[in-house]
Amino acid sequence: MSVYPNPVNQTGTVTFNVESPSTATVEVYSLLGEKVISTSAETVSGLNKVNLDFSNLAAGQYTVQVKLPETVLNVKFNVVH
């Protein structure tokens, strides 16, 4: 799983792989644990991409979490403006 570009300025893409189609919940958390973005996406087997708008977030470090039926994925990334 990754976020690119990293650091992010306005928009970024979360990429992750899944074994079988399902629904993923994509959430972004601040370092204080506040949920600042939440969306869901239908996935396909293999590589999946979710585009997110980070323009409303303050500069800093965040964690994106992808919740799938079989696992939870986490990765940190930075926002700069």
DSSP state letter for 8: B
Q: Is the dihedral of CA 4, 20, 23, 73 positive or negative?
A: negative
Question: Can you tell me the distance from the alpha carbon of 26 to that of 55, in angstroms, rounded to the nearest whole number?
Answer: 17
Sheet of 72-79: strand order equals 35-42, 23-30, 60-67, 72-79
pLDDT digits (tens, 9 = 90+) for 10-20: 999 999 999 99
Residue 53 has pLDDT above 90, yes or no: yes
Residue 35 has pLDDT above 90, yes or no: yes
Note the pLDDT of residue 81. Answer: 87
Q: What is the CATH number of the domain that holds 59?
A: 2.60.40.1930
pLDDT digits (tens, 9 = 90+) for 59-75: 999 999 999 998 999 99
Query: Which domain does 18 fall in, by range?
Result: 2-79
Q: Tell me how many domains the chain contains.
A: 1
